[in-house]
Amino acid sequence: MASPTFTVATWNINSVRLRIDQVERFLTEQAPDVLCLQEIKTAEALFPHDMFERLGYTHRAVHGQKGYHGVATVSRLPLREVSRHDWQANREARHVGVEVLGAGGGVILENVYIPAGGDIPDAQANPKFGQKLAFLERMTRWAEAVDRPTLIVGDFNIAPLDCDVYDHKALLKVVSHTPQEVAALKALGDAHGWVDLGRKHIPAPERNYSWWSYRSYWREKDQGRRLDHMWASPALAAQSVSHTIVEETRRWEQPSDHVPLMTGFAL
């Protein structure tokens, strides 16, 4: 297997300022070239730039807002921000797109935080669920026009396969695993022929979770879901050589409920 020449990680950090020490530990131990964060929960002016600068992540694209949502892409390689899509059509900070320069080979890297969708899987009773489906529809229309090698990563808030949740039958009516969401995510995947790197490297039905609720003791019951994803254009996916779930972060003190994913490419 070829050695990675370019590594990208993604992590829903659930407040970058609250967990800045954990981000520093992760970057020190794992050292990806690029880290995409979701749910940073801070405005751009308050983003903790100093730590990233100190560790050599001197290139950053931050799309934040006060207290909620927000995404940030930090890199040791030069970046050029190329887009901030408003796929929810309500100005929430849920996407930033960059071009990775230098050793990244001109890869387009899309960092996205898809809405959770509330608790009731009914767009009439729960407008948030309808907004989530509309978000996915807008992404699908966008994906149809993607014409460059692209990596899209982030918290998709959907576990698509039966084996991507701890209990398929029990979760069929639970938001994140409903047939409506799974169908919408499949349409997005088909729109560009995206390759799901998590399942390229950890084939179904092998265990592959990235999120555990704070409401249950995660290690004992292992009630996980695969909500975080890394998808690549076919040509770029062919160059992926490794994929890791950094599950140990869920054991850290006051952790995020999500764990990081990391993919290596031989570009």
Q: What is this structure's pTM?
A: 0.96
Q: What is the pLDDT of residue 15?
A: 97
Number of domains into which the chain is organized:
1
Could you tell me the pLDDT band of residue 102, with boundaries at 50, 70 and 90? confident
Q: What is the mean pLDDT of residues 136-141?
A: 98
Residue 201 lies in a domain: yes
Rounded to whole angstroms, how far apart are CA atoms 253 and 84?
33
The parent domain of residue 91 ranges over 6-265
**Any domain includes 1:** no
Residue 217 lies inside a defined structural domain of this protein: yes
| Residues 148-198 pLDDT 10s | 999 999 999 999 999 999 999 999 999 999 999 999 999 999 999 999 999
The pLDDT mean for the chain works out to 95
Length of the chain equals: 267
CATH number at residue 181: 3.60.10.10
The answer to the question of residue 42 being in a domain is yes
